[in-house]
Structure 1
Amino acid sequence: MHRIKAVFFDLDDTLWPIVPVIERAEVVMFDWLTQHAPGVADRFTIDSLRERRRVLLQENPQFHLDLRLLRHAGLTEAFLHVDEDVAKVDRAMAIFSEARNAVTLFDDVLPMLDGLRGRVMFGSISNGVADLEVIGLAHYFQASVAACNVGIAKPAPEIFHAACDALNILPCEAVHVGDDPVLDVEGAQKAGLQAVWMNRYALRPVRELPDNIQPDVVCTSFHELDEWLRKRII
């Protein structure tokens, strides 16, 4: 077995819970719309805007590569529908992005990153649009690869290979940690990496592990992950 030289992390629901973040960000943005684009707020709701994005995503799967573009497209459509000034869409997106990056890390994240820092390289591989610089975590990571930047989304092997190339390592020298069995576990393994299923919600499952997917290890916390990694990076 190859020694692990790098650990790649998914972000949303791996380093922080994402649902409360998105819900709050949508409320903050809608409050802004109520004040600055009342025609949109009067005609649409958070739920109806969300449903329209779902339809747009079905119509154009390329939006999976950049969820910011999806949200921008949905807002632009809503603004045009009620003759609001579309120049305000960018400001609405900025309001949303600021709130979207106001995440609260799981309590075990920083202790693990601090404890293994310098002993193994860290990277991130995400289909989302979180900004690690704004969040304050960028200094932990030697590489950050996002679908919106490379034009490839998980579970495609190319995005995992791009992350490995950024650190000048082989896929067999890396492990990827994530909460999604298909995107993170199966995707990483098919790309030649080891894969950890981070099942933080084991007591109240939000995802089931398909029978055909077998992670290299299942962890319910970064404390368990830390213990597993320390045996493989020395």
Structure 2
Amino acid sequence: MPVERMMIKAITFDLDDTLWDVWPVVIRAEQLLHDWLAERYPGIPEQFTPLDLRELCSEVADVQPDIAHDRTLLRKEALRWAAARVGYTAFDSDAAFAVFFAARNAVELFEDVRPTLERLAQHYTLASLSNGNADLRIIGLDNLFAFSINAIEVGSAKPEPLMFETARRRLGLWPTEIIHVGDDPIHDVQGGRDAGFGTVWVNRSRQEWPGGARADAEIGNLAELEGVLADWKSHSA
């Protein structure tokens, strides 16, 4: 069914790089963690830079693919690996991760996000679908979403269908009554399309489409989504 003929009742949103710029946040969180480690476990930052610790997550995922979708567990396990490699027999990975996690959720929303979500929430059911571990309660957006789902909860990351299917069941809607909005052509556009959702690509940096089936719509900021929805609604009337 052409998306302009859909009767859209719900919108699911990606989080990182859709509602905020994630990499400056992650880099800052990694540096704060590194500083914390220097005070309590100095042997780790003496041998591992913040980037080294991030790359250690990839090593963990290669060895333990069953936890590759769980970014919290990957970070904790990478820290434990680093501690063991420099000779610490006792290491508080939970306390270390708490430092990172608090800073990881200190995000700065794109200016268009909160007002747009507040308006959309008056007309549609909103939910979030994320491969990351952001916490909307800490960020202060949870009141605008009916629910939030991440890869940790369902045990599978986008573009795999499980997260989308879980959202569809919780919404109690047909796939054609839902659109998914996100920045990633594979995780969000391909994943949402394969699940039968309408799709909107958030292309804030105005990149060229990388190829393959395009999203049903492309927007440069979240405020443009309202115009897209209004246009689709007028064509379905």
Partner of 2:82: 78
Partner of 1:154: 158
Partner of 2:124: 120
Q: Distance in 2 between matches of 1:44 and 1:98?
A: 21
Which letter maps to 2:77? A
Which letter maps to 2:116? M
2:231 is the counterpart of 1:227: no
Partner of 1:56: 60
Say whether the 8 Å CA contact 1:64–1:127 is kept in structure 2: no
Match of 1:186 among 185, 190, 195: 190
- Deviation (angstroms), 1:168: 1.0
2:218 is the counterpart of 1:218: yes
Q: Distance in 2 between matches of 1:12 and 1:60?
A: 24
Say whether the 8 Å CA contact 2:168–2:174 is kept in structure 1: yes
The TM-score with structure 1 as length reference comes to 0.93
Range 46-55 or range 94-103, more displaced = 46-55
Q: CA RMSD in A?
A: 1.5
- Deviation (angstroms), 1:43: 1.9
Partner of 1:99: 103
Task: Structure 1 unaligned segments of length 5 or more: list them.
Answer: none
Q: Distance in 2 between matches of 1:233 and 1:129?
A: 33
Match of 1:14 among 3, 12, 18: 18
- Deviation (angstroms), 1:155: 0.6
- Deviation (angstroms), 1:8: 0.4
Change (3 A) 1:86 1:231: farther
Q: Deviations over 1:134-182 (max 9, x none)?
A: 1111110002111100112111122101111111111110000011101
> Partner of 1:123: helix, strand, or coil?
strand
- Aligned-residue identity in percent: 41
Q: Distance in 2 between matches of 1:52 and 1:130?
A: 20
Task: Structure 2 unaligned segments of length 5 or more: list them.
Answer: none
Q: Distance in 2 between matches of 1:62 and 1:182?
A: 21
Displacement over 4 Å in runs of 4+ = none
Say whether the 8 Å CA contact 2:11–2:125 is kept in structure 1: yes
Change (3 A) 1:128 1:86: farther
The TM-score with structure 2 as length reference comes to 0.92
Partner of 2:170: 166
Q: Distance in 2 between matches of 1:137 and 1:66?
A: 22
Q: Distance in 2 between matches of 1:233 and 1:143?
A: 25
Equivalenced residues, count: 230
> Partner of 2:181: helix, strand, or coil?
strand
